Amino acid sequence: MNRKDFLKTSLYFGAGLSFIGCLNEKTETGIAESNWNDGDVAHILPTVNHNRMLIATSFKRPINQPILKVGKQAVEGQKRDSKGYFWAFDCADLKPATVYDLRLFEANEPLCDAWPLKTFPAPNADVPQLKLMIYTCAGGHPLAQDFMPVPENMKEAPVHFAKKRVALLNRGLSFKPDALVVIGDTIYWDLSGNGKGRLGTSGDERAIAISGKFDESKPILGTENEEVLKKAVSPQIIDLYGTACRSTPIFVFKDDHDYWENDEASDALITFPPKNFQLELGRMVQQMYLPEFLPDESRPLDLPGSGATDRGANISENFGTLRYGKLAELLMYDCRRFVTLAGDKAQFLPTAAENWLHRRTASQEVKHTLHVPSTPFGWSAGKWLEWYPDFLGKDGKLQDDLNKPYWQKGWQLQHDRILENMYAAKHKKPIMISGDLHAFGSGRIHQNGSTNMESNPINCYLSGPLGNTVFPSTFRKTKAANPTAIKMEEDFENIEENGFSIVQFDSQNVQVDMYKYLWSRDDLKLIDNLKAFTTLKT
């Protein structure tokens, strides 16, 4: 898209809060539209545990102190922006495995139709099965994509992208998952990095035409920065989810782009750990649009990123648990916010978080324990901020006998400790599913360094990217590959296409069904009947 076409497209869509008016036709894929009336509500994203709900909402107009009725409780909204568009509702003292009717009111007037939401089973409950939809990289502003190939009508390109992303989400929801797990990169709007001239980079003139420009000398809320944030983020989140997930709990955590940076390092710029302004932008997006992690009885309440005074009681922003009775426990961890640059002592995760992972991996309380890191195990794209020292050589292949600039040995040492702890827990099948790399992948790590893991290999998956249209081989000139330090048996060569995974648990197995779709190749109408291209069992 050249500058002239881009600016014409920007004017065509306008620079409002979101693109809601362009995306109301959600029946185009053939998925039946319900009669549910969203009224004044723009988006609803809930999360739950066994006795609590946390619900992030936004509205099409400013609201004055909304009330959420949950069964017989009346819960006051917590204002999350300065103007009253964004509110959160924290509902406690609920019963496990119970369906509640939820109703939103302003001054006793309903804001939308009622809807159901169910709490999870109690941690000690016997549960026969669990189904999850898991994906990564759902972000992407419709006006900030590199459209290849470009549709004949340039004005339709952003809607074309947005409708396909919504359709993929709806296809996953049609399988009726018990929850969604979103592994980072919910937004793309980098402030610096090597994004000069790249769409979606905040300093790029095309991005400024969409959202305006941040003033880092001012606070985010209550200044023009708040409107810049909303214009950059709302089309990436509100127009994807809307109210479609109102009855499906969502667990979402951050990767590098969620801190408004790409993971890059040079003599001029090192993007992580995040600088204060980027950190606050990441926290503010979570505060306004997304529910944080609710407490879990087996996760320490004082982990870093927990207990902030501007969040609810015992809320965690970076480390989360999806506990589903005695059947399954997902350990979700943000590998970006707390990264350190300290050589052999460097870490992606604080020691307290690593210790939590080790304890839960060794525990015998649940049948299946899944690690869900924001930075993948088992694959490398030669990027700086990875567990691995692999670097793209002149021959176009990854190798670890080069000096990878700014990479820290301690990151790999922490990786090794986590893998060895998973291997040692031989009462479980070690399983890890991750995202970031804009690809599908599946394999088993049989050896890590000098440690032979043949007797209990680590099952690793890449979930597939729902949104963004840029793939590693395009940007980095190489596909993701297995790092040299591990020996891995792959089920197939990783596939750079869009899509998602449906992960099903029962008392014996974990089954992963992968659904792929290529934005630039496949017709929108295919999504409604999309079939799994592979089914894998551990």
Q: Which residues contact 255 (CB under 8 A, 6 or more apart)?
A: 136, 183, 184, 185, 334, 335, 336, 374, 375, 435, 436
d(CA 238, CA 84): 16
Nearest to 444 by CA among 66, 454, 348: 454
Confidence of residue 483 (pLDDT cuts 50, 70, 90): very high
DSSP state letters, 487-498:
EEEESS--B--E
pLDDT value at 1 more than 50: no
pLDDT of residue 107: 96
Answer yes or no: is pLDDT of 16 > 90.
Answer: no
Contact 48, 120 (CB under 8 A): yes
Question: Sorting pLDDT into bands at 50, 70 and 90, what band is 501?
Answer: very high
Check residue 13 and give its pLDDT. 42
DSSP 323-338: EETTTEEEEEE-SSTT
The pLDDT assigned to 368 comes to 98
**Residue that the structure tokens 């502003």 belong to:** 141
For β-strands 67-70 and 41-48, DSSP reports them as unpaired
Specify the CATH superfamily of domain 3-537. Answer: Metallo-dependent phosphatases (3.60.21.10)
Answer whether residue 450 shows pLDDT above 90: yes
Mean pLDDT to the nearest integer, 324-339: 98
What is the pLDDT at residue 155? 59
Beta bridge partners of 449: none
When mean pLDDT is compared across 10-24, 29-43, 157-171, the lowest value belongs to 10-24
**Cβ pair 323, 367 in contact under 8 A:** no
Q: Could you read off the pLDDT of 274-327 as tens digits, one per residue?
A: 999 999 999 999 999 999 999 999 999 999 999 999 999 999 999 999 999 999
Q: Which of the four pLDDT bands, split at 50, 70 and 90, describes residue 479?
A: confident
pLDDT > 90? residue 400: no
pLDDT at 234 over 60: yes
Neighbours of 314 (CB within 10 A): 15
Grouping H, G, I as helix, E, B as strand and the rest as coil, residue 281 is helix
Instruction: Give the residue-averaged pLDDT of 404-431.
Output: 97
Residue with the bigger pLDDT between 96 and 200: it is 96
**SS3 at position 500:** strand
Helix/strand/coil for 416? helix
Among 99-108, 141-150, 183-192, 367-376, the least confident range: 141-150
Higher pLDDT, 197 or 435: 435
Q: Answer whether residue 476 shows pLDDT above 70.
A: no
Phi first, then psi, for residue 165 (nearest 5°) are -65, -45
Contact 251, 47 (CB under 8 A): yes
* Average pLDDT of the chain, as a whole number: 89
d(CA 513, CA 535): 5
Tell me the domain boundaries of the chain. 3-537
pLDDT tens per residue, range 140-177: 888 876 544 445 555 566 777 789 999 999 999 999 99
Report CA-CA distances (Å) from 35 to 227, 284, 406.
32, 33, 54
pLDDT at 214 over 50: yes
Place 390 in a pLDDT band, splitting at 50, 70 and 90. very high
DSSP state, residue 143:
T
**Class of residue 36 by CB neighbours under 10 A (exposed 0-12, middle 13-18, buried 19+):** middle
- The residue ranking higher by pLDDT, 106 or 520, is 106
Which uninterrupted H or E stretch holds 475? helix 472-475
Concatenated DSSP letters of 237-261: HHHHHTTTTTTS-EEEE--GGGGTS
Q: Does residue 29 have a pLDDT over 50?
A: no
Higher pLDDT, 86 or 391: 86
At a CB cut-off of 8 Å and minimum separation 6, what does 529 contact?
none
- Which residue is listed with tokens 């899944």? 370
* pLDDT computed for residue 209 by the predictor: 86
